[in-house]
Amino acid sequence: MAFKIGDVVQLKSGGPEMTVKGVIGDANSPLSKTENAALKMAGNEGGDVYSYWS
């Protein structure tokens, strides 16, 4: 399933709704190079969806 920036998502197990901010490593994502690098250093991989609580 492809997520787009601004999509509202929720874990299958429940929890709060979250808004997609970007996709890690995607050239079309609004995440800066610094954000991408920091997220990868934190254990995320390219293609992971980065979101925040709505």
pLDDT of residue 2: 84
The tens digit of pLDDT for each residue in 2-15 reads 888 999 999 999 99
Residue 54 pLDDT more than 90? Answer: no
Q: pTM for the complete prediction?
A: 0.77
The tens digit of pLDDT for each residue in 13-45 reads 999 999 999 999 888 889 999 999 999 999 999
Which of 10, 27, 18 is closest to 51 using CA atoms?
18
Cα–Cα distance for residue pair 15/27, rounded to 1 Å: 29
